[in-house]
Amino acid sequence: MGGPDRTAENDVAGRIRPCHGAVDMGAYEMCPRRFIRGDSNADLKVDLADPIYSLHDLVADGPMACLDAADSNDDTRVDIGDPIGILGYLFQWGIRPHPLFPLCGEDRSDDDQIEGSSSPSCE
C-alpha cells in the first residue's frame, strides 16, 4: 500500500536498479558494459567512420565514447593497431574484430583493464 515498489527494476527500498536483475542482493551492482567491438563512434555499426574517429582521438587525445569498443583487437589498450585492424577488416585484408562484434553485447571478461562505460547507443 504505501511501501516501496519492489519489482525487478527496483531494489528493496524502491530505487531503480542500474542492472535490472531479477534478484536484489542488497549489494552495489556492477553492470557489464555493452558495446560493439570496433564501433568507436558509437553509431551501432562498424564502418569507415570508426577508424577515422579512433585516429582522431588518438592524435588529438579526444574523448572517446567507449574505449572498449575502440579496442578492436581486445588487447586491453587503444593504440594505432585498433584502427588499422578495422581498416583491414573493412577492406577484406584483415581479420574481424574480437567478440562483441557485430552486435551489442556485454563484456564480462575479467582481464579487461580499460576503464570506461557502455557505448551510449547500446543502452
The model's pLDDT over 60-106, given as tens digits with 9 standing for 90+, comes to 877 777 888 898 888 888 899 999 999 999 998 878 887 778 888 87
Position 8 pLDDT exceeds 80 = no
Tell me what pLDDT residue 33 has: 72
Phi, psi of 99 (to 5 degrees): -50, 160
Tell me what pLDDT residue 21 has: 56
| Average pLDDT value over all residues in the chain | 76
Segment of 12-21, 38-47, 106-115 carrying the highest mean pLDDT: 38-47
Contact status, residue 71 vs residue 111, Cβ threshold 8 Å: no
Domains and CATH numbers, the chain: 1-31 (no CATH), 34-122 (1.10.1330.10)
Rounded to two decimals, the pTM is 0.69
